[in-house]
Homo-oligomer: A and B are copies of this chain.
Amino acid sequence: MIPAPYLLYLGHFQDPADIKTSRGLAVFRREDCIAEFRHDDCPLTLDLPRMTIAEAAAAGAKTLVLGIAAAGGRLNEALIADAAAAISAGMNVAAGLHHRLRDQPTLAAAAAASGVSLFDVRDPPADLPVGNGKRREGKRLLTVGTDCSTGKMFTTLALTTALRERGVNADFRATGQTGILIAGDGVPVDAVVADFIAGAIEMLSPARTDGGWDLIEGQGSLFHPSFAGVSTGLLHGAQPDALVLCHDPSRPHLRGLPHYPLPDVGRCIAENLRVAALTNPDVTMVGIALNTSKINEDEARRLCETTGAENGLPCTDPHRFGADAIIDRLLAAFDMVPVA
């Protein structure tokens, strides 16, 4: 639906967490990504060719993807200027910000004049239902986190792939801008009107009767004072049978909030189970996914072992060590026969 190939935007950003949407596309839709665009002060890279907007347009890029995920999702002047340049070069622009591209007068006028399209992937569907909390058929797994941006989307995609490799029908259900761009559809749950959070997830992951699993991408954290409302509604709407906790052990405090420490992993597991039990009393935690990208491999392996042992759960970094440890527990917990 959004014309490829893509030019991925890094801009002036400094923190890898700020460009997670661009990185998600570079990892999971790499065949559709032609280059990355960054200014000289940007220390980040996606290991794609670096191109200017003119170079990318000449190389055939059809859409500039503003794959950034700053808190609050606002457009700033640098973003607007770079997007306007892409439009002038004949490219479409896609973004998943709360501030819609089409509501920015400069960009709306430029796109109309150039005959290109603006794609706002954070537009929620119209006519969302209020959640009803009724038990529905099918199995669902939800990723939850100690914080925002701890690897929930990556883990959910990795678990979906691993489950399919074991012969189980499995579908990824996207709830954030990056997941939606990767999957091609989904519901941007943090952008729905507050009364409809749970209902939106009930709609995203309806009853299924093929014996397969929906793997739902989590958002935020019950312990994040900005976004816990979203996480709570998501837990209730997902009605998960299984949870996987995602955690970044190298983070000094909650993302964007230096005055809030990370919650303890064990406490976070207990609280997620307690909240989820409202709509599914049988919910169970099946594993912990650590994001160890800032830790050396020996230390990462030790950390997975100790964190798993402390909490009585399989613990892995799905990116580094694969997702099999969690899949084994999931299959065992639900009496599924693993395919060798």
Query: A residues within 8 Å of B by Cβ?
Result: 71-73, 98, 129-134, 189-195, 197-199, 222-223, 225-234, 236-237, 257, 259-260, 275, 278-279
- Can you list 8 A-B contacts with CB-CB less than 8 angstroms, sorted by A residue number? A72-B129, A197-B230, A225-B237, A228-B233, A228-B236, A228-B278, A230-B233, A232-B233
Give chain B residues whose Cβ lies under 8 Å from the Cβ of A225: 131-133, 198, 236-237, 278-279
A55 to chain B, nearest CB (A): 35
Decide yes or no: A133 and B259 within 8 Å by CB, A192-B194, A229-B197 being known contacts. Answer: yes
Measured CA separation A204–B220 after assembly (Å): 23
B230 lies within 8 A of A98 (CB): no
A121 to chain B, nearest CB (A): 15
Decide yes or no: A130 and B229 within 8 Å by CB, A190-B194, A194-B193, A278-B223 being known contacts. Answer: no
B260 lies within 8 A of A133 (CB): yes
B132 lies within 8 A of A229 (CB): no
A130 lies within 8 A of B71 (CB): yes
11 further contact pairs, Cβ within 8 A, besides A225-B236, A229-B232: A98-B193, A132-B257, A133-B226, A190-B193, A194-B194, A197-B230, A222-B232, A223-B278, A225-B278, A228-B275, A229-B236
Cross-chain contact of A228 among B71, B226, B232 (Cβ < 8 A): B232
Cross-chain contact of A195 among B98, B199, B222 (Cβ < 8 A): B98
